[in-house]
Structure 1
């Protein structure tokens, strides 16, 4: 039962998931700023062995390839809306979200869906697998 109370600490069992959600929302809020820097700082959001699964492309795995993926991409602003979080909130969490991309002038470019598997590391929650695709036909 998700809202059962633990007699030991008096908190509901979903507290770890709520804490994970807060950390993930904070990470998502700075995601495009880091990606747009083109200096590799986006890697602070990912585990060392992370993989991206972009639409219509092969998986992108490893730090060097992830940096290249973002460096070669357009500068955009992204907004993520978490729809669901699944997991224990202590070691792993799966995020199901909606995204919206705008150009640097605020013009909408795309919207779609995201599935991210997050892992808790010594440095906080990091994206381990990141899969995304547009809600619109490929152009």
Structure 2
């Protein structure tokens, strides 16, 4: 009986160690994703201000935008046109992301929830809203896979 209890105790200790190690790996993966997202967000609006297409480097090859009052936009050509229009027709020259939360385990996908602000060439706020971005771990690092956002302002 003592041998059985001892074996059972060893099994439970090994299982607890396995669970703790798995949780630690997920925590490390999520922290890696959070750092990559923060780095991408820090340079996102600089890329928009260049108006040279480099903004697309923040997105996965198979990414889609889900903008307000518009159909879904998938593919590099559609996304490039969207950003070019924002620059040329709306005066978008800068902005800011405020990440509120990042959900997931950090292994393949995570979801970022936050707020955004858009600024014109004079640094004046002209729009703001909220977003959900589904990030995908790719061979080139963490990239935006689905980018859904909406304005807080009434449609004119």
Q: Structure 2 length as normaliser, TM-score? A: 0.79
- CA RMSD, aligned part only? 2.0
Quick check: 1:62 aligned with 2:75?
A: yes
Equivalences for 1:1-139 in 2 at 5 Å?
A: 7-8=20-21, 11=24, 13-74=26-87, 75-139=92-156
Deviation per CA, 1:16-61: give whole Å up to 9, x if none: 1121111101101111111222222111111111110110011111
Aligned CA distance change for structure 1 residues 10 and 136 (closer, same or farther; 3 Å): closer
Q: Where do 5+ consecutive residues of structure 2 fail to align?
A: 1-15
Q: Structure 1 length as normaliser, TM-score? A: 0.88
- Partner SS for 2:137: strand
Q: Using the alignment, how far apart are the partners of 2:21 and 2:129 within structure 1? A: 42
Aligned residue number for residue 11 of structure 2: none
Q: Where do 5+ consecutive residues of structure 1 fail to align?
A: none
Between the two proteins, the alignment pairs up a number of residues equal to 136
Larger helix share, 1 or 2: 2
Deviation per CA, 1:78-105: give whole Å up to 9, x if none: 1111111111112100110111112122
Deviation at 1:10, TM superposition (A): 9.3
- Partner SS for 2:95: strand
